[in-house]
């Protein structure tokens, strides 16, 4: 066995040191494994708690926001519907006034002289003027009706000039003539300066009022002369149970359209849908709904989006609750409120993502706080790990030193005892008890045993030596006696022989 730095490789001290180091290393490994496991478990617990926390916050926020929106969105929709309805109510009242005036004139036509009315004069363009238009092939001078309703000219001019919600008003007659009051006269003529025929009895406002047999609102239609999009409300004029004409008003919806367009700059926007499920008003570039003329606009109640179709079908009939819909892969909240005076419905549209911003901001803030806390926790954990590693290394060093010290205390007496025993065997000296053996443990007992054994062995050897010497003395004496006896045997034999001869001679 080799000895390096006082340690015998393969010896007892080496084995004790290895045992101590093994115990320390296994203990440290177990401690580190438990620490890693606990750290991972704590990380999982923290992660799960964070997920549960975020889920709870999201759920509570959604419920809270939904409840707030349920009250605010439906309330504001109903309020805006009332405001819009007031604008329409004023126009409707004016329309009914025209209807009453026209029917009154027809009832009293026998008492009235025919009033004069003339075709539009381009020179008066820009001035609100009453003028007559006709269908192709119709001569207004032959009309029985135009002279009667011409008595309304002054009242109609005053109505247009005094009501900002009216663009123009008119009455189309069953004989193909048309009394119109507005300030756009130049566009009534073609490039040749010829008056353009006006197909009065084919216009949507005319046919719609007759079919409805009452108040009628068109969708978005194009003006026959300017091509501009407009909305008209109309009502039939009856005389003796027969429809003799239809009064109509082109509505100036600056207040409503201004409100509709302005809403696009807010968190939500508004649209108006008629009873045919067509969008008649919507902000420009809203990204979802497009305003088209009534002959081209789709009926949303029959669209491919079944959820939207169901919502529109309900909204045109009654106020709706807050409804969540998916349109073009985007979630929206919608709320509808029908107008009381017009068969239209005001619908408020709100991008759900906007409502989620407070929740997202809260979650982001929570994420930031959790991230900071996690970073602080990881920092503390890393510092703790470094401290633990340093302590473990120190413990390992101290353990090694303690192992060496312990091994030294155990091995040095044994080594000394071994040397003494070897020396005793080589020189015959007695094994002597020394202070190094006074360890108050098994080593001391073993040394005392060797000491006692050595003494007993010496005593045994002394006894054996004494006995051997005694045996040797006795053996010498016996040998001497034997030799003396052997020297005496011839004399005895001769004597015995002589004695025998004498006896024999005497007998003879």
Per-residue pLDDT at 95 exceeds 90: yes
Chain CA centroid to CA 234, Å? 53
Average pLDDT of 180-201?
Answer: 93
Q: What is the DSSP string of 5-19?
A: TTEETTSHHHHHHHH
Confidence of residue 378 (pLDDT cuts 50, 70, 90): confident
CB of 217 closer than 8 Å to CB of 343? yes
Angle of helix 153-162 relative to helix 12-107, nearest 10 degrees, comes to 150
Chain CA centroid to CA 340, Å? 43
Residue with tokens 């978005």: 220
- The half-sphere exposure of 22 on its side-chain side, counting CA atoms within 13 A, is 6
What distance in Å separates the CA atoms of residue 485 and residue 492, rounded to the nearest whole number?
10
**Average confidence score pLDDT of the chain:** 82
Residue 185 makes CB contacts below 8 A (sequence gap 6+) with 120, 121, 122, 124, 125, 126, 127, 129, 131
State pLDDT tens for residues 220-256.
888 888 888 888 999 999 999 999 999 999 987 666 7
What distance in Å separates the CA atoms of residue 89 and residue 92, rounded to the nearest whole number?
5
Determine the pLDDT at residue 364: 78
Angle of helix 357-427 relative to helix 442-507, nearest 10 degrees, comes to 30
- Angle 354-356-359 (CA atoms, 0-180°, nearest 5)? 140
What distance in Å separates the CA atoms of residue 204 and residue 234, rounded to the nearest whole number?
10
What CATH code is assigned to 108-252? 3.30.450.20
Per-residue pLDDT at 505 exceeds 50: no
Fold observed for domain 265-355: Beta-Lactamase (3.30.450)
Confidence of residue 149 (pLDDT cuts 50, 70, 90): very high
Determine the pLDDT at residue 436: 75
Helix (H) or strand (E) holding 236: strand 232-239
Residue with tokens 């045996």: 471
Residue with tokens 């992660």: 47
What distance in Å separates the CA atoms of residue 266 and residue 92, rounded to the nearest whole number?
30
Closest listed residue to residue 255, CA positions, set 161, 156, 347, 166: 166
State pLDDT tens for residues 150-185.
999 999 999 999 988 898 999 999 999 999 999 999
CB of 205 closer than 8 Å to CB of 221? yes
Helix (H) or strand (E) holding 348: strand 344-351
Per-residue pLDDT at 62 exceeds 70: no
pTM metric for this prediction: 0.59
What distance in Å separates the CA atoms of residue 81 and residue 338, rounded to the nearest whole number?
7
Comparison of pLDDT for 100 and 432, the residue scoring more: 100
Of 39-43, 79-83, 128-132, 332-336, minimum mean pLDDT range:
39-43
Burial of 269 (0-12, 13-18, 19+ CB in 10 A): buried
């Amino acid at each position: 066995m080799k000895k390096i730095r006082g340690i015998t490789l393969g010896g007892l001290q080496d084995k004790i040191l290895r045992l101590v180091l093994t115990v320390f290393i296994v203990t440290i490994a177990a401690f580190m494994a438990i620490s890693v496991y606990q750290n991972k478990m704590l990380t999982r617990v923290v992660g799960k708690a964070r997920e549960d926390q975020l889920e709870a916050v999201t759920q509570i926020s959604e419920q809270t926001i939904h409840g707030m929106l349920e009250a605010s969105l439906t309330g504001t929709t109903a309020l805006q519907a009332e405001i819009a309805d007031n604008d329409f109510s004023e126009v409707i009242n004016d329309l009914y006034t025209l209807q009453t005036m026209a029917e009154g004139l027809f009832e009293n036509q026998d008492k009235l002289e025919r009033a004069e009315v003339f075709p539009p004069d381009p020179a008066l363009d820009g001035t609100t003027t009453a003028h007559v238009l006709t269908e192709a092939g119709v001569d207004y001078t032959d009309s029985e009706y135009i002279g009667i309703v011409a008595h309304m000219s002054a009242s109609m001019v005053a109505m247009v000039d005094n009501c900002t919600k009216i663009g123009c008003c008119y009455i189309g007659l069953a004989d193909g003539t048309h009394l119109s009051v507005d300030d756009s006269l130049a566009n009534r003529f073609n490039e040749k300066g010829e008056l353009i025929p006006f197909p009065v009895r084919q216009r949507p406002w005319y046919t719609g009022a007759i079919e409805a047999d009452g108040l009628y609102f068109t969708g978005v239609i194009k003006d026959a002369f300017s091509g501009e999009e407009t909305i008209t409300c109309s009502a039939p004029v009856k005389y003796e149970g027969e429809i003799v004409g239809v009064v109509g008003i082109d509505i100036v919806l600056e207040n409503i359209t201004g409100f509709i367009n302005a809403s696009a700059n807010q968190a939500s926007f508004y649209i108006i849908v008629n009873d045919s499920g067509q969008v008649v008003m919507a902000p420009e570039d809203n990204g979802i709904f497009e305003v088209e003329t009534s002959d081209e606009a789709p009926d949303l109640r029959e669209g491919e989006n079944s959820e939207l179709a169901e919502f529109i079908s309900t909204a045109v009939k009654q106020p709706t609750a807050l409804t969540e819909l998916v349109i073009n892969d985007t979630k929206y909240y919608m709320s509808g409120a029908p107008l009381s005076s017009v068969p239209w419905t005001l619908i408020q549209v709100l991008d759900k993502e906007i409502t989620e911003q407070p929740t997202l901001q809260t979650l982001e803030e929570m994420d930031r706080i959790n991230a900071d806390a996690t970073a602080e926790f990881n920092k503390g954990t890393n510092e703790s790990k470094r401290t633990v590693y340093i302590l473990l290394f120190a413990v390992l060093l101290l353990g090694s030193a303690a192992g060496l010290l312990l091994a030294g205390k155990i091995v040095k007496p044994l080594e000394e005892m071994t040397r003494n025993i070897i020396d005793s065997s080589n020189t015959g000296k007695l094994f002597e008890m020394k202070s190094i053996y006074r360890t108050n443990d098994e080593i001391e007992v073993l040394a005392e045993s060797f000491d006692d054994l050595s003494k007993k062995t010496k005593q045994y050897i002394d006894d054996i030596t004494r006995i051997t010497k005694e045996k040797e003395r006795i053996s010498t004496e016996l040998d001497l006696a034997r030799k003396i006896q052997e020297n005496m045997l011839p004399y005895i034999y001769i004597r015995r022989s002589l004695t025998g001869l004498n006896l024999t001679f005497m007998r003879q």
